[in-house]
Amino acid sequence: MTVSALALTSPLTDVPGISDRLARDLSTLGLNAVGQLIAHLPHRHEHEEAEAPIAELVPGHVVSARGEVTACRPVGFGKKMRFEAVLHDGSDRLDLVWFNAPYLRSKIHPGEWLRVQGKAQRYKNAIQIANPRFEVIDPDAELPTATGDGGSLRPVYPASSRVSSRAIELAISKALPMALPLIEDHLPAALREQRSLPGLGDAYRMIHRPDDEDEVSRARRRLAYDELLLLQLGVAMKRHHLRETQRAPALRSSERVQRSILERFPFELTGAQRRVVADLTTDLTRDIPTNRMIQGDVGSGKTLLALYAMLLAVESGQQAALLAPTEILAEQHHESITRVLGEQGPEVDLLTGTLTPAERAGVLGRLASGQRSLVVGTHALLTESVTFRSLAVAVIDEQHRFGVHQRAALRSKGDAESGLIPHMVVMTATPIPRTLSLTLFGDLDVSIIDELPPGREPVETVVEPTANRAEVYAGVRDAVERGEQAFVVVPSIDGDEETGLTGLRAVQLELEQTLLRGVSIAAVHGRLKRPTREHIMERFRRGLIDVLIATTVIEVGVDIPNATVMVIEQADRFGLAQLHQLRGRVGRGALASRCVLVSDPTTPESVERLAAMRGSTDGFFLAERDFELRGPGEIFGSRQSGLPPFRVADLSRDHLLLGAARDDAQDWVMRSPRLADTSEALVRRRVLKSHGAWLGLGDVG
């Protein structure tokens, strides 16, 4: 096989110097082709001293040397056991000693070559290193060695028990020289220059074989930029495609229309709500499809804004739908919207998975004919059999629970005849760190509600150890005696002895029989049938039940101003964002409220999470904190967001780079919306490969 015939897709066995056995080992890490191997990046670099002949090692310094094992033996017993070895390299002898390392007996044998690093000392007239770092090497395999006085940086690769970092390094050192000329750069030279980025081939060379720290950071910057840019290009293409090639119905609005909508509302809007109403009015009266996210903390009053957008559609003689993630939430929206609209207002249908076939047929018929203008529903709304006469506005509540595909399914329910798609408004009570929302939802405009309706008392939050539960529930009893109500949230229904997970049933029994004896208690959870659950919730709302024990089904959905205490059992089992959501279920009226986090946290991270909850009621702050503590995947569940993980970029550190990538992607797509020029073929292919599927770019290509 000649060198020139090698391609990035060539199997590793084609690379001279990579043995069949090494290739087999590498394939257990999913590394089968040259390109895959080169893309296997070190996760860090280790400083390594320059190697020197043994005779030149300087006592008192950290040194590195290699030599043949001429003798080795374990000495002593038990705890005192040490392992000694002698190395010769032709220039002199080097003594090695490891304390407390009996396992070395099976690792180091006479005749083998070792490479060692550690602090040299003079001991009994010889040079010795105690507890050196070492590796067994093949003296004939020319591993790159450190040169020069300053030593070098050695890449440390993600490895396995079968393939060591050094084996990967060896393979890469064989493949890299042939692979580098084959790497095509998708970035135009002008952009590279403007952002001071090295070429792609150079970046790969510098990350695998850096001369110094500076090269490592330049290489990382380039590779991180690439990841961010490809994502932002995908997002920008998608956005451009929607805005330029799709049309939505431009709704009518006027002073009179707005007044007639706002007059139906039971209270004055807050300043923040008024700003969002203005944003929505501008959006919905244009024929550019709206893609707006409303972010507002729990209780900030998003429902009215959804209703505003929906009624704007009705005023123009069109239809609107509200999609909720759970049945309880859909039911509550349906109920509260029906209540606000009153007897005179337009009727609202409810579409969930638990309707009878006849009920369902009724709803579908009314939506298809246009007889009904408003519908609230769950995922059941997304099924193909649901059609509208003219759907102008689609609102999604708790957007993070739905993926891009669901947005697309809803969008496709516009008016097939006229080719118009509905305006999309998504709402979330999970405040999303700005860096993330740029990344994940870069195709959305964002409105933020940063003000709660007047008259809310902040919820006092305390953390209590399990040992204080009796007092915690004495406090609950006091609240009940004052005529108030309480939630108790438990992380699971049945519990799990093995993992120590608390179950709802056990807590219920305990409260009923001892801690809250005589208090009226009921439980709701996801396994109850809808009518039962509805019945219990209704009784709680009407004050017939004092304490409601629940799993996270109450995370979204209930609005009970008289509930003033939220006890969360095993609070460390919940994420920060989730805890904040749960806490938002109390403090919805004028009464002072309390949230008690019962927990004996076991990890530093859970201690921090609970401290953050105690210290802040600001959802945005908590979201940032959650992001720092657990990364983006946890906030959304990467399955839900569908976002492919980054390998190099780190969103909590690389915001500047993200901003640059976003600006560059927007400029680029503005100039060339489909990246259709032949010079763009490579970058286009890479965008589609990385992000086509999850962004649903099929229609863009």
Binding site for ligand ADP (CB under 6 A): 267-270, 273, 296, 298-304, 429, 453, 559, 588
For the CB of residue 485, give the shortest distance to ligand ADP in the complex, in Å. Answer: 15
The smaller minimum CB distance to ligand ADP, of residues 297 and 349, is found at: 297
Tokens of 480: 């009940």
DSSP string, 186-251: -S-HHHHHHTT---HHHHHHHHHS-SSHHHHHHHHHHHHHHHHHHHHHHHHHHHHHHHHH-B-PPP
The smaller minimum CB distance to ligand ADP, of residues 159 and 340, is found at: 340
Nearest position to ligand ADP, beta carbon:
301
For the CB of residue 427, give the shortest distance to ligand ADP in the complex, in Å. Answer: 7
Tokens of 418: 């006229």
For the CB of residue 367, give the shortest distance to ligand ADP in the complex, in Å. Answer: 24
Give the strand pairing for 391-397 and 319-323.
parallel
Q: What residue spans of 488-571 are helical by DSSP H? A: 504-510, 530-541
698 contacts 692 by C-beta, under 8 angstroms? yes
Angstrom distance (rounded) from CA 370 to CA 387: 10
The smaller minimum CB distance to ligand ADP, of residues 278 and 509, is found at: 278
The smaller minimum CB distance to ligand ADP, of residues 435 and 564, is found at: 564
Provide the 3-class DSSP secondary structure of residue 551. Answer: coil
For the CB of residue 603, give the shortest distance to ligand ADP in the complex, in Å. Answer: 30
Please, which residues have CB within 8 angstroms of residue 414's CB and are 6 or more apart in sequence?
248, 388, 390, 391, 420, 421, 422
Please, which residues have CB within 8 angstroms of residue 579's CB and are 6 or more apart in sequence?
568, 571, 597, 609, 613
Paired strand residues for 350: 376
For the CB of residue 439, give the shortest distance to ligand ADP in the complex, in Å. Answer: 24
The 348-351 sheet, strands edge to edge: 348-351, 374-377, 319-323, 391-397, 423-428, 291-296, 445-449
The smaller minimum CB distance to ligand ADP, of residues 117 and 581, is found at: 581
For the CB of residue 589, give the shortest distance to ligand ADP in the complex, in Å. Answer: 8
Local structure of residue 297 (DSSP, 8 states): -
The smaller minimum CB distance to ligand ADP, of residues 219 and 595, is found at: 595
For the CB of residue 304, give the shortest distance to ligand ADP in the complex, in Å. Answer: 5
For the CB of residue 537, give the shortest distance to ligand ADP in the complex, in Å. Answer: 15
The smaller minimum CB distance to ligand ADP, of residues 297 and 664, is found at: 297
Place of tokens 């010769």: 88
169 contacts 157 by C-beta, under 8 angstroms? yes
For the CB of residue 268, give the shortest distance to ligand ADP in the complex, in Å. Answer: 6
Q: What residue spans of 642-699 are helical by DSSP H? A: 655-671, 681-687, 693-695
Please, which residues have CB within 8 angstroms of residue 386's CB and are 6 or more apart in sequence?
351, 364, 367, 380, 413
The smaller minimum CB distance to ligand ADP, of residues 208 and 302, is found at: 302
Please, which residues have CB within 8 angstroms of residue 161's CB and are 6 or more apart in sequence?
none
For the CB of residue 559, give the shortest distance to ligand ADP in the complex, in Å. Answer: 5
The smaller minimum CB distance to ligand ADP, of residues 324 and 507, is found at: 324
